[in-house]
Amino acid sequence: MTGFAEKSWPYAIPLLLYRRHPPLVALLALLLLPSCSAVDAVNALTPTESIESIQTAAYADGPSHSLDIYTPKDPKPDAPILVFIYGGGWDRGEKGDYLFAAEAFTSAGYTVVVPDYRLYPEVIYPSFVQDAALAVAWTAEHFDGRALVLMGHSAGAHIALHLALETEFLADAGVDRCSTIAGAAGLSGPYGAVEVTTEPHLSIFPERLQGDDAPLTHVSKAVPPVYLATGLRDERVYPKNTLELAAALEGIGADVTLNTYPELDHVDTAKLLSHFFDDNGPVRSDLLAFLDKRRGADGPFCLKS
């Protein structure tokens, strides 16, 4: 599993394409700068007109325990707060890389919180899930009375769905899951349908994502509404993870929405949140449809199995 910034994108585009798509010229120029990654370039080109402010706060002690709050200029009334948990294989990533993802939702009127969390080799499972639970607890207290929606891509989807389906982590952080979490959305997540077999994931997950470390093992409990999506060309985190979790949730009568994208791969389901790549594409619009259904909802949000 790898993070968004590691996708290899073309570095040469024909002159005719430059003339027809001027923003690509800017992307190319940024990519040619020393130490400029693809995600740096996309963030540099991300419009920020929808963002009123970006504030950083500590949700616990330690350098990896901070979060960024993106406040929209035109907030939607009765909208839940979106907590976006980034991916990166549980061993890389940082919140500052996800301006493009936050803007995908501030532009629709949603406040977005993006937390950092500790990574391998500093920690293994379940420490990063516990960190995310603390970030959710801080957010719930800071936005007292507002419902939250959890969202993540890849490893972040694993963490988000873990918190949404398993009571223990949020309860230990002082959060009543069913009265606080109005929904959870996972993009291309590893949920336990496929056993991990290689390092560093064998070290990160001693149970190989086949025990309590897998969201799939927690679907028998009360769950909030869930949105799941995957690209069917994903060869990093197989679509089987998303399909099996959706089937398990449907099997207990949960409120679950499933979208599959035949032409997309693992990185695409994060990349296409960016206006630069897909201003009105299905990934973002499908997520916004799920979020809009959570507006004004009153808890408890869980359906009992």
CA 94, 97, 100, 106 torsion: positive or negative?
Answer: positive
Average confidence (pLDDT) over 24-50: 68
**What's the whole-number average pLDDT of the chain?**
88
Is 24 among the domain residues? no
Per the document, the length of the chain is: 305
**According to the model, what pLDDT value does residue 177 have?**
95
pTM (predicted TM-score): 0.89
- Could you tell me what percent of the chain has a pLDDT over 70? 86
Which residue range(s) make up the domain with 269? 49-294
Is 86 among the domain residues? yes
Does the structure show a pLDDT above 80 at 23? no
Identity at 195, one-letter amino acid code: E
Provide the CATH number for the domain around residue 287: 3.40.50.1820
Q: Tell me the DSSP string of the chain.
A: ---GGG----S---HHHHHH-HHHHHHHHHHTSTT--HHHHHHHTS--TTEEEEEEEESSSSTT-EEEEEEESSPPTTPPEEEEE--STTT---GGGGHHHHHHHHTTT--EEEE----TTT--TTHHHHHHHHHHHHHHHHTTT--EEEEEETHHHHHHHHHHH-HHHHHHTT--HHHHEEEEEEES---SSS---STTHHHH-TTTTSSTTSGGGGTTS-B--EEEEEETT-SSS-THHHHHHHHHHHHTT--EEEEEETT--TTHHHHTTSHHHHTT-HHHHHHHHHHHHHTT--S--PBP-
CA distances in angstroms from 304 to 13, 132, 166, 252, listed in the order given: 53, 24, 13, 9
Q: What's the pLDDT band for 41 if we cut at 50, 70, 90?
A: confident
**According to the model, what pLDDT value does residue 168 have?**
94
Is 245 among the domain residues? yes
Q: What's the pLDDT band for 19 if we cut at 50, 70, 90?
A: very low
Is 39 among the domain residues? no
**According to the model, what pLDDT value does residue 280 have?**
62
Is 168 among the domain residues? yes
Quick check: 175 and 133 in contact, CB under 8 A?
yes
Quote the CA–CA distance of 186 and 258 in Å, as a whole number. 10
How do residues 119-137 score in pLDDT, each as one tens digit? Answer: 999 999 999 999 999 999 9
47's tokens: 């419009």
Is 166 among the domain residues? yes
Is 29 among the domain residues? no
Rg, C-alpha atoms of the chain: 18
Average confidence (pLDDT) over 180-200: 97
Domain count along the chain:
1
Does the structure show a pLDDT above 80 at 220? no
Q: Which residues partner with 84 through β-bridges?
A: 151
Average confidence (pLDDT) over 194-222: 94
Quote the CA–CA distance of 234 and 240 in Å, as a whole number. 10
Average confidence (pLDDT) over 96-103: 96
Is 85 among the domain residues? yes
**According to the model, what pLDDT value does residue 277 have?**
80
